[in-house]
Amino acid sequence: MKPSTDTKTRILEKSIEAFNRFGFVNIRLQHIADEVGISVGNLAYHFKNKDAILEAIYEELEKSQKALLADLKIVPLFINIDKHMRDTFLIQQKFSFFYSDTFEILRSFPIIKKQYREYTKWYISQIENMITFNVARGTFINESKEGLLSKLAEQYWMTMELWLYQSRIRTFDEINIEDYVFSMWALLIPYFTHLGNQEYKQMHFNENFNWL
């Protein structure tokens, strides 16, 4: 079973690399087979078509994100939130084609679209729990209007999901993890209490954040 498992793993790895370089719609099975060094027939033995490859990749992507969120859920202190942002950035870099071609992929694959919608709803609820936890411990202000923190959770998720896509549209410069993390914290900083500001400054005491 090991050679078969190794081949499936190589197919997925090479598929991700090809999709990231050239875009999902531009890659055929022959391209992937050539990258792996096998015949199309051998590739089809493991994955009957490109759709099956994409579904397997998406399962891996969602599993990786859920694992990160599970870690954050345990104790969502600022240092844990910051780590979650950075780890999420790395996942998005690994699966960058999905974040660049999300709309086209979801429009073409109803099964993935359904999974993605359900996962998104759950994800936003977890972010809202993270915000509520920090309100309770005094680092975030309470909402001044009902539903405001729910909207913050939605905005946080949208920024997290669309940042890579928008950054590539607006610039050809190298995508920078610090810019990504800055963009995420910029949404949360206006909701800091004095205690929250102190905790954030303490977390970055060796860095120069004059905007705080």
Domain map (residue ranges) of the chain: 1-48, 54-203
What pTM, to 2 d.p., does this model score? 0.88
DSSP character at residue 141: P
- Environment class of 149 (CB within 10 Å of its CB; exposed 0-12, middle 13-18, buried 19+): buried
| Mean pLDDT for the chain overall | 90
CATH class entry, domain 54-203: mainly alpha
Residue type, 64: S
- Environment class of 81 (CB within 10 Å of its CB; exposed 0-12, middle 13-18, buried 19+): buried
Segment 24-82, tens digit of pLDDT: 989 999 999 999 999 999 999 999 999 999 999 999 999 999 999 888 888 899 999 99
Q: Which CATH superfamily is domain 1-48 in?
A: Homeodomain-like (1.10.10.60)
Give the phi and the psi of residue 127 in degrees, each rounded to 5. Answer: -65, -40
- Alpha carbon distance 189, 193 (integer Å): 9
Residue type, 155: Q
- Alpha carbon distance 188, 82 (integer Å): 11
What is the reported pLDDT for 172? 57
Q: Of 31, 51, 42, 55, nearest to 7 (Cα)?
A: 42
Q: Which two tokens stand for residue 164?
A: 């890579």
Residue 140: pLDDT above 70? yes
Q: Which residues pair with 192 in a beta bridge?
A: 140
CA distances, 50 to each of 59, 67, 149 (Å): 14, 26, 40
Mean pLDDT score, 131-160:
94
- Count CB atoms within 10 A of the CB of residue 84: 21
Segment 75-127, tens digit of pLDDT: 899 999 999 999 999 999 999 999 988 988 999 999 999 999 999 999 999 99
Q: Of 109, 106, 98, nearest to 23 (Cα)?
A: 98
* H or E element in which residue 166 lies: helix 148-170
